[in-house]
């Protein structure tokens, strides 16, 4: 799972989320802490209205929440989702470092330039690469 600061940076750079069952998210509020929620047809459903999308908490007892606006949720895309969002820019993922503290690097080629991005987890390496791609795309 990507870090909260990286997820926040991706959202700020312009990454948009259309919630699907199985997606993970956090509430972007300090008083909630770093609790992670999962969209599920049984407990947390995305409801789309003309005014926007809300995430409805159906019968959960842990939180006194009925729903939360999508803008207040911070998407935590999975490794597979991040790789898919990189599309044709993705070239490779590799493990670097020793066996005790492995780190990860993702190579991409975007707009004719090659670049490498690292992270403590594969998810974070993918996320850093996607941050570069999304940020560059919004500058067009």
Dihedral sign for Cα 50, 22, 63, 57, please. positive
Task: Quote the pLDDT of residue 101.
Answer: 84
Average pLDDT, the chain: 86
How many H helices and E strands in the chain? 3, 9
Task: Quote the pLDDT of residue 60.
Answer: 52
pTM over cut 0.85: no
pLDDT in tens, 67-118: 778 888 999 999 999 999 999 999 999 999 877 888 999 999 999 999 999 9
pLDDT category at 55 given cuts 50, 70, 90 is confident
Question: Which domains does the chain possess?
Answer: 18-75 (no CATH), 79-138 (3.30.160.20)
């Amino acid at each position: 799972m990507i870090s909260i600061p990286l997820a926040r940076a991706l959202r700020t750079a312009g990454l948009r989320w259309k919630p699907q069952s199985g997606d993970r998210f956090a509430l972007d509020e300090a008083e909630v802490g770093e609790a992670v929620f999962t969209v599920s047809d049984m407990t947390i459903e995305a409801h789309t209205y003309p005014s926007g999308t809300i995430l409805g908490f159906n019968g959960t007892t842990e939180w006194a929440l009925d729903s939360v606006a999508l803008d207040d949720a911070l998407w935590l895309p999975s490794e597979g989702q991040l790789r898919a969002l990189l599309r044709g820019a993705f070239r490779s993922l590799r493990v670097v470092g020793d066996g005790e503290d492995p780190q990860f690097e993702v190579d991409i080629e975007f707009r004719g330039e090659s670049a490498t991005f690292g992270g403590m987890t594969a998810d974070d390496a993918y996320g850093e690469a996607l941050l570069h791609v999304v940020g560059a795309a919004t500058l067009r």
